[in-house]
Each structure stands twice: as C-alpha cells, then as structure tokens.
Amino acid sequence: MALHWLVQGCQPGDSLLFHYSGHGSRQRNYNGDEVDGYDETLCPLDFETQGMIVDDEINAVIVRPIPHGVKLHAIIDACHSGTVLDLPFLCRMDRNGRYVWEDHRPRSGVWKGTSGGEVISFSGCDDDQTSADTSALSKITSTGAMTFCFIQAIERGQAGTYGSILNSMRSTLRSTGSGSGLGGGVTSLLGGGGGGVTSLLGMLLTGGSDTGGLRQEPQLTACEPFDVYTKPFSL
C-alpha cells in the first residue's frame, strides 16, 4: 500500500524518493527474466508468514507507472540489493572508476522500464553480496554502511554527479578495515538449495557474518544509460 501511495497521482515535475534500510534476500527465478537466475527481494517484518517482496512486484508498482516528467530515486541498503528494482541497466564500475552499462533487460521482452519518467537507484551491494551494519564508520553506533556513506558523500561535497557519489561510497567502504564491529547485514536468507527462507531466529543468530571487512560494492541502476560523470545528481 505504501509503495502504491508513493507513485499514485504523481504529476510532471514531481520528485519521488524511496529509501529502504533492512534485510534483503533473493530466491530462484523460474521465468528466465534474470541474468543471474535469481529474483532479488526485500524482507518486511512479516516475511515468514506473508512472504518477501520480490523485485518483479517492486518494478511493477513503482517503476513502470512513472510517467514522463516524473523522477524517482531509490536508496536501498540491504543484502542482495544490486538490481532489486529490476531496472533495465546496471552501471558496472571498476575500482578505477571506469564503467559500462550492463543490459539487464529480460530475454522474454517484458518491459522493465518506466512509462516515460526517470528512475535511478543506489543500492548497498551487488546481487551476490551482503550489506553490513557497522560501527566502524560513525565510531559511535552501528549504522547501515551504505546509508552512512551515501550521506557522507553529500555532506563532503562529493555528490555533484552520480559517478562521484558512487565512487565516494565505494572508496569509503574499501578503506574501512576489517574486524570493526560488523553485524547487521545478513549473509543470506537462502536455504541450502537456494529456495527456502530460514527461520527468523536462525536469521538473527547468523546475521552479520561478513567478518572479513566491508567487501560490499554499492551499485547504480537506471531505466536508461547515461554519462555518470556529467549528469548532475539532483533529488
């Protein structure tokens, strides 16, 4: 209902924002519209009884309806969140800041873009990675690493373009040492076969197991490719 509310009645000139910080997972995809064979998901509080929110549903609700003249930014701080909006293009960037846009449009031909509007998403990690909570960044309390770095990039004046934000976030996470109180990110909610979701108790007991440092790499996806170093970032 909240996702529907966000886009309902939007008009040209509107700027929408969706921020999620919490648990994410993935499940096997059986209709062949995922490059990696998995649907990415968000895990609401009642996911054990009501199920996870799958990227196909997120795309259908807040991406495809966006009309011309409306823009939506998504900031998703969760495990396995790289393509959780199912947007058609992913910015694959190396450590030197060089990038190419990967085409993630389904082979089935199903349209995953908008109705003329613009949607861009920053996410905490690649689809096969986990996103951590850590006290290593704030030095005060445990925070979502990606959210902290996103805010820091803006506060430090490194948010001129989408490319500068992405590089700033990635370099901050790379420079954050290991063994620094990592804890909140869930390695995976997948069962051994990749199909089932573990119990909530098991999730809480095993959560935050990325103990080798902040290896997550924030990702940028969009409905259309663009030059990340010339396009100004603007909410």
Q: Which residues are catalytic?
A: 23, 79
Question: Structure tokens of 184?
Answer: 């909140």
Query: Burial level of 95, CB count in 10 A (0-12/13-18/19+)?
Result: exposed
Q: What is the largest CA-CA distance in the chain?
A: 48
**Which residue carries 């008009």 as its tokens?**
11
Classified as helix, coil or strand, 71 is: strand
Residue at 123: amino acid letter: S
Report residue 67: phi and psi, to 5°.
-85, 170
Q: How many residues appear in the chain?
A: 235
Q: What sign for the dihedral angle of Cα 145, 151, 156, 161?
A: positive
Single-letter residue type at 96: N
The helix or strand, by DSSP H or E, that contains position 205, with its residue range, turns out to be helix 200-206
DSSP assigned state of 115: B
Rounded Cα distance, 76 and 53, in Å? 13
Instruction: Kindly report the number of other CB atoms within 10 A of residue 39's CB atom.
Output: 24
